[in-house]
Every structure is written in structure tokens, then in C-alpha cells.
Structure 1
């Protein structure tokens, strides 16, 4: 099994629409971003963790705890584009994009993702996890849904429920067919990101506002695997309070 050098990059945009400045929100005495950074470092297969941001305030915060941080253009349209902009500074085979709103990310999930690159032949262009979802989340446009080939490769990602179950009441859909939600963590072969700016613009990406559709529509292979390690993301003030309570409780039990 080939040992691949892997770097995690956390794109960290300060101006979140729903919860501004959330990446610097205090959780147990540290910014939320610090918790994500530390958990990524705990993944045994990860060589380095970097942060890519468009805000001086974030640069200062990361430097204060001794982290690796890069300043990027404010006009980057997605986290992936932000990573591509610092690609020349990343000496590795695989790049993992961990979202800046997942302070409970499991290091084992990151290792799982890397192991697929190590073992699967031919190596996929991109790897990303999925998880089973219940009826409440099927219709939530903030939770992206996936439909897959029999071999695990993605057919499509959508904010709408996929598949549409004809002739069945919506409340019975989960009993009729399994639904999978997307977990917003991506692993990329470095060479795939090197081709990013040569990929044609994607009408699907524009319509759904999902960056992975640019790669999928361009014919890149996206392998998905199912996991129960679902990292709760922080999108709202209520999410933030729930995460605070879990982290404080975990610290008190150590």
C-alpha cells in the first residue's frame, strides 16, 4: 500500500452569510477554527494542516496559536478555489478540504478518506463521505443529497431529494428507498486541483451552488463511501450553542 503524503487545508471565510464570524466564535476558550485545526492534526495519516483565509483577523488568530495560515483573494468563489490559489505552497499527493464549520470532525473520518486513496485502484480523482439520512433531512436544502452508482461513484449531488420516489407519499420515502446525505469533506488528488482552472464552467454548479458539480460535470470521478461519523456543522446560533455544550461536556469528563 503506497504511503501518500496528505495535507489538510481548511478554507476559512470570515463573512459567513447565516452566522458571520462563526469561525472565530469562542468555544471553551478557543476559536471554533482552533478546534477544527486540532482535530485534523489528530488524524494519524495527515502530514500537515493549513488554513486558507481571506481575512487578516483570521491570519492573526491562527498565528497566535502557531498554526500554518495563508492569505487568499477575497474573490475566491468556493473553498476549493481558495485551496487552488495556494496550491504552489502545498507539497503533497493528496489534499483534504475540511470545512471551517465542523469543530467536531472525527480524525478517524479523515483517515478513512485517505485510506481509500491508498487502496483503491484505479485511484479516484476525488473522495468524499456520505451518511444515511432520515425523513426530516431529506427535504432540507442545506443538506446535500447524493445518488451513486453501484460501485460507490457519485452520479449526482443535489439540494433536492434524490431520487424522487414516484407514486409514494413523501413521508414514506425513507421506507421505500435509502437516501444519502453528503458530508462536506473532500479529498483530491493534487493533479486534479492543478487542472481546476482549465475545467469548463458548470451550469450545474451555478444552479445548485455546489462546487463538486464542476468536477462531476467535467467527467472527474468522485468516489463516495458511507460512514456513521457525521460531523455536526455550525450554520446557526443554535448549532453553535449545541457544539459549545458538547465540547464543554467532553472537556469536563476528561
Structure 2
């Protein structure tokens, strides 16, 4: 197995289309993003865990809770850009992006992403990400659910908001997988991303992971049954509070 220095970065944007300031809402006596940070630390999988924010309110709040936090630019267009800025001068091999609105972060999922790189002796894999099988037609056809098509070794071939593969004769002979936007990156692939121009596929689908594929990077997909409890709306927060109890 490879000896790697692995860190976790939790991007924490203040603005959110559906639920502004969701990361600083109370969950079990602490802000959501603080609970996510503590849960990530508790996995004991990482050499370092830090939060990257674009807003002084979050920065100051996290400092009060003794969280390892850094300020990043508010001009970033994607999560990859924000994380790349933060890790550019850090000594690490692999960076795991943990969503700030997922306080119930699954240790098993993070472990499976890290294992991809530890087992990749020849350093052929640039990114790893998660997916789970879906069967419901409404879920498959919903453009908000990103689907991924893989090869026989579970490498990503394409991501789309469309239902792929398209069942031409009414039956699919391959499973449908929904992508979960949790990533682990080799540091060099992440830094390279920020130097590449956006190409047509990414611009069309509005999916940043397509940029990696368009530039020839290898994304290893991992199947999981642990779908996180993300907090995107006020209703999600109410559910999370019940679950927390």
C-alpha cells in the first residue's frame, strides 16, 4: 500500500441558493459546519482537517469554536477551484472534499475513497468519487440527479443529467448509477484543473467533473449504499435535528 499524506477540506460558502447561511444554523448546540468538521476529525482518517470559507461571518464563528479554518477567495466558480487555492501550498498527496452541509458524514465512504489511492500502486488514478444504484424511473429521469456511466473497472466514462444509458428498446441492460458529489483528488490533478479552460461538455451539462474527463483524467467510481443526509433546505435541517437527537 502507498504511504500517502491525506487531508480533508470542507468548503463552506456563505451563500446558498436554496438556504442561505445554512452552514451556521444550530444543530445539537453547534453550527452545522462545526458538527461536520468534528465528525470528519472523529473518523481519524486524515493527517489534517480544515475548513475553507469565503465569508468572515463563517470564519469568525469557526475560530470561536477552535476549528482549523482558512479564508479563500469568494470568486471561485467551483468547489475544485476553492479547494485548489487552499491546498496549493500544503504538503499533501491526496485531498478529500467533504461537503460542509453533511454532518452525518460516513466514515465508510471516506475510507473507501482513500483506499482507492492507497491501492493505486502505479499512480494511475487522478480522482475518486461515489455513486449508488438507482432503479426508480422518476429518479433516473430527474435532471437534478447526475448519472454516471462506468467501464468494467468502475472508471467513469461520462456523467450526465440525462438518463444514461438510454434504453432504446425500453429495457436497460446495465445498472443506473447516481453520482454523489464527494471527491478525493490527487493534489496535482486538482491544481491542474484550475489551469484548464472550460470545454464544451462541462459548459453544456454544468458539471465540473466533466472537465477532468475532457482533459483525459481518470476518475475511479466507488459504489456505496451510504447516501448522506445533506442539508439543502429548512426541511432538511428539521430532519437533521430529529436525527441528531
> For 2:88, what is the secondary structure of its paired residue?
helix
SS at 1:58's partner residue?
Answer: helix
Cα contact 2:112–2:222 (8 A) shared by 1 = no
Q: Deviations over 1:149-204 (max 9, x none)?
A: 11110011112221111232xxx76xx54111111110111111221233232222
The alignment of Structure 1 onto Structure 2 pairs a total of residues equal to 243
Superposition pairs of residues 106-125 of structure 1, within 5 angstroms: 106-123=106-123, 124-125=125-126
1:89–1:68 Cα change, 3 Å: farther
Give me the whole-angstrom Cα distance separating, in 1, the residues matched to 2:142 and 2:121: 35
User: Paired residue for 2:147, among 145, 148, 151?
Assistant: 145
Q: Which moved more, 1:132-141 or 1:217-226?
A: 132-141
Distance 1:141 1:67, change over 3 A: same
Structure 1: how far apart are the matches of 2:63 and 2:129?
29
Aligned partners of 2:118, 2:82: CA distance in 1, in Å?
A: 25
C-alpha deviation, 1:64, in angstroms: 1.1
What does residue range 59-70 of structure 1 map to in structure 2 within 5 Å?
Answer: 59-70=59-70
Shift of residue 59 of structure 1? 0.3
Structure 2 unaligned regions, length at least 5? none
Q: Secondary structure at the match of 1:85?
A: helix
Residue 192 (structure 1) aligned with residue 193 (structure 2) = no
The residue that corresponds to 1:78 in the other structure is 78
Shift of 1:236: 1.9
Unpaired runs of 5+ in structure 1?
249-254
TM score, norm. by length of structure 1: 0.90
- TM (norm. structure 2) is 0.93
Does structure 2 retain, via aligned residues, the 8 Å contact 1:40–1:110?
no
Structure 2 match to 1:209: 206
The yes-or-no answer on 1:179 pairing with 2:176 is yes
Moved over 6 A (4+): none
What is the root-mean-square deviation of aligned Cα atoms in Å? 1.6
Query: Structure 1 residue 43: deviation in Å?
Result: 2.3
In structure 1, the residue matched to 2:131 is: 130
Worse-matched range after superposition: 116-125 or 50-59: 116-125
Give how far 1:25 is off: 1.4
Tell me the secondary structure at the aligned position of residue 76 of structure 1: coil
